[in-house]
Each structure stands twice: as C-alpha cells, then as structure tokens.
Structure 1
Amino acid sequence: MKQVTVEEFQQLVEGDRDLNILDVRPKDLYDKGHVPGAVHFPLNDIEDNLDELDKNKSYYAICHDGKGSKKATEILTKHGFDVTNVEKGVPDYKGELEK
C-alpha cells in the first residue's frame, strides 16, 4: 500500500492544486473542515460509488485518524485504482482547511 505522512501530503497540497483528494470521513466532519480541494467520498459508500472515480487518475485518501483512509485505500486498490493513503488524518494537517 502506498502511503505518505501527513506532512509530506501537506507539501503536495501546497504545491499542486490538481491533486485528487478523497475525504472518507462522515459528512459532519467533512463539513466542519477539510483539506483544500478534497471531495467528500464516505468510506461506507465507496464500493457503491466506484463508477464516480477514474482509473486513469491517482488519488489520495484521508480521514480523521488514518484508519478509515487505510481501509479506503485497500478497497480502491483492490478495484484497480491508484490510491495513496495519508497517514494520520485531517486533525494532524497543519495547513488551512476549507469549509
């Protein structure tokens, strides 16, 4: 499984506004603040919404503590997607969040 630290991820976000970021947390947490450009893609609905993703793109999965994004990365990788897990989670992201 591909992984990056939350610090490495923040550097990527600050350097490239075209990243495909999947925030797999529940909607209420996503709405309270998320990484700039992140799309809400809840863990519980991933397998029902695979057709919304493009297998020709690379994705980064992030959650609250690294556990949900790890599970999301495993599921998406199993289905042939290029996904990198962000270790830890949004609370550890030191950059500015969007609401």
Structure 2
Amino acid sequence: MREISPKEVEKKLEEGTILHIIDVRETEEVAEGKIPGAVNIPLGLVEFRKQDLDQSKEYIVVCRSGGRSGKATEYLEGQGYQVINMTGGMLAWEGKTE
C-alpha cells in the first residue's frame, strides 16, 4: 500500500497540484472540517460508490487516524484503482479545512 504524509498532501495543495481526495469518515465527522475539495464517501459506502471514481485518476484516501482509509485503500487497490493512504489522518492534518 502506498502512503503519503499529511505534510506532503498540504505541500502539494499549496503548490497548486490538483489532488483527488476521498474522505472515508462518517458525514458527521466530515461536518467538523475536511481537506478543501475532498469528497466524502463513508467507508461503508466505498464498495457501492466505486463506480463514481475514475480508474485513470490517482486518489488520496483520508480518515480520522489512518485506519479506515487504509482499509479503503486496500479494497480500492484490489479493484484496480490508483490510491494512496494518508497516514495519521485528520488528527495529523495541520492545513486548511472547509
């Protein structure tokens, strides 16, 4: 499983890199703040929403601490998607939120 640190994600966003971020936390967790531009697909719905994702794009998967995003990353990798798990999750995120 490929991984990326919150600092690396923040740096890429500051540089203007277009990132495709999936936040797999529950809706009420995301309401407290998410990485700008992240799309919320709760972990329990990833299997049913995977067809909404483009297999030609690379996705960064985020959760609260890195556990759920790790599970989602492994699942999506197994389905042929290009995914990277953000280690430490939103607990480690120091960048802007929306």
> CA-to-partner distance for each residue in 1:5-45, whole Å, 9 max, x for gaps?
11112112222352100000000011110001100011111
Cross-structure match for 2:23: 23
Q: Which amino acid is the alignment partner of residue 37 of structure 1?
A: G
State the 1:74 CA deviation: 0.3
Question: What is the CA-CA distance between 1:91 and the residue it aligns to?
Answer: 2.3
Question: Kindly, what percent of the aligned residue pairs are identical?
Answer: 35
CA separation in 2, counterparts of 1:63 and 1:13? 18
Does residue 49 (structure 1) correspond to residue 52 (structure 2)? The answer is: no
Report the AA paired with residue 35 of structure 2. Answer: V
The answer to whether the aligner puts 1:95 opposite 2:90 as a matched pair is no
The alignment yields a C-alpha RMSD, in angstroms, of 1.0
**Structure 1 unaligned runs (5+)?**
none
Normalization by structure 2: what TM-score? Answer: 0.95
The count of aligned residue pairs is 98
Q: Which runs of 5+ in 2 are unaligned?
A: none
Query: Where has structure 1 moved over 3 Å in runs of 4 or more?
Result: none
TM-score by length of 1: 0.94
Which residue in the other structure is 1:85 paired with? 85
